[in-house]
Amino acid sequence: MNELIFEAYVNADHVLRLPANLPVGSRVRIQVERLSGETDGASAAPMTELGPTLLAIRQRAIARGMPLQSADAILAEVREGRAEAGDDQDLR
């Protein structure tokens, strides 16, 4: 199995959800390290009215074990979706 790295926040119950794509019965090693300079976003002041809504969605996704993606990975998915839909090439 290839190396899999994901980030999660420790909630009050200390429940950590592993990604669903881990094969059942596989042996794993879990190493916990505090990520310096990272916060749960609760202390960050939203810059727009949409900020608190997006932050709540992000926190729910993390709590459910959804892996976070980089902006590049998300944009690649958007481009792929546009290509499948046959959108205008100028809009990519």
80 — pLDDT class (breaks 50, 70, 90): confident
Q: Which two tokens stand for residue 74?
A: 């998300």
DSSP summary character for residue 41: S
DSSP letter assigned to residue 58 = H
Distance CA 63, CA 41 (A): 13
Determine what percent of the chain is predicted with pLDDT higher than 70.
75
Contact status, residue 6 vs residue 19, Cβ threshold 8 Å: yes
21-52: per-residue pLDDT in tens? 777 888 888 887 777 655 555 555 556 788 78
End-to-end Cα spacing for the chain = 34
Which amino acid, residue 12? Answer: A
CB-CB neighbours of 62 under 10 Å: 19
